[in-house]
Amino acid sequence: MIPTLEWLPEGVNFLDQTKLPLEETYVLATDYKQVATVIRDMIVRGAPAIGVSAAMGVALGIDRSTATDIPSLNAEVEVISRTLAETRPTAVNLFWGIEEIRSLYNRLVDGNTPIPEIKAAVVARARQMYDEDIAACKSMGAHGASLMPQQGTVLTHCNAGALATCGYGSALGVIRAAIERGHKIDVYADETRPFLQGARLTAWELLKDNIPTTILCDNMAGALMRQGRIQAVIVGADRIAANGDTANKIGTYSVAVLAKEHGIPFYVAAPLSTIDVNTPDGDAIPIEQRAATEVTHSNGKQMTPNGAAIQNPAFDATPAKYITAIITEHGVLRAPYDQSIRKMVEKVAAGPELATV
């Protein structure tokens, strides 16, 4: 399993995804500010991995605090949480991860728990979330494997694999699970400009698993669909609105429209933590704007003329009408998504015995 991130006694260790595929190096974050930098600079990326990283960042901040009384610790926790929340706005998992640790912390404080026990408990919860993410990805794979073609080519955009999670992957986890069940699948990986997550990351991890992978320029998918060379599309998500509209890496919307035009199923794979029932639709999802230099420069070399205006939104929102199904760890959701999402969220909230739909 690819070690995307790991809790160590010294801090949280992250595989530096900005250096892949040519260099496998790690960045050790020894305090919450360094975790925030790792998230902001996309050393770690992918909504599920960001969520667990944020949880570990809050836990690390609490664990390393020198506060000797609860009021002082409360003040620190506010700063820690705000610092991490300000790193990236689109992936709702970031805020879910922070809230998971904050909620536990608040319950422990309300119960007059001593500070050393609070520290141990929040660290244990953050580490548990790591294990839960891997289990969720494998469950997504189990639910989604049958949706993949028995034989053929699957297109994916960006990276929703082991590198975007704590291991195994969401969209790529479904592909992995299908192959483990005997499906004969190869993968087209969109390069995913401007950060090249598909070319650098998806291809790297699939080839490590000996899964046949071909990298496509982002503008090639339509032509290949017309030729009948793509049997399914599967992507991850950074936020899924209450009506099923889905934010994913910029360019996903275009792929979804092309898939619809050519009668190709378009699947989204994401954990339940990616669903934001408080966001009504895709228009309400905040879209991160990233630095112009990601577009203007490649490998340190300027590729665009001085004075040209640059647009660099990191994500776009795909309307639910283009999505064939949403694969979660609790089952497969289908339209009408406002109803199926609400039903799943209510069942999971009711307890594990009702959680699978």
Tokens of 253: 């919307």
Three-class DSSP category at 305: coil
Which run of H or E residues covers position 38? Answer: helix 32-40
Eight-state DSSP code of residue 289: B
Give residues with Cβ within 8 angstroms of 258, minimum separation 6. Answer: 221, 222, 225
Which of 94, 196, 17 has the alpha carbon at shortest distance from 2?
A: 17
Residue holding tokens 């994401």? 270
Residue type, 200: R
Instruction: Say whether 234 sits in a helix, a strand or coil.
Output: strand
Residue found under tokens 């004969």:
184
> Which of helix, strand or coil describes residue 140?
helix
Structural contact between residues 60 and 39, judged by C-beta atoms closer than 8 angstroms? no
Q: Is 238 labeled as catalytic in the residue annotation?
A: yes
How many other CB atoms are there within 10 angstroms of residue 67's CB atom? 14
Q: Count CA atoms closer than 13 A to 37's CA, side-chain side.
A: 11
Which among 63, 190, 218, 238 is annotated as catalytic?
238
Q: Is the CB of residue 282 less than 8 Å from the CB of residue 344?
A: no
In angstroms, rounded to a whole number, what is the distance separating the alpha carbons of residues 254 and 23? 31
What positions carry a catalytic annotation?
Answer: 238
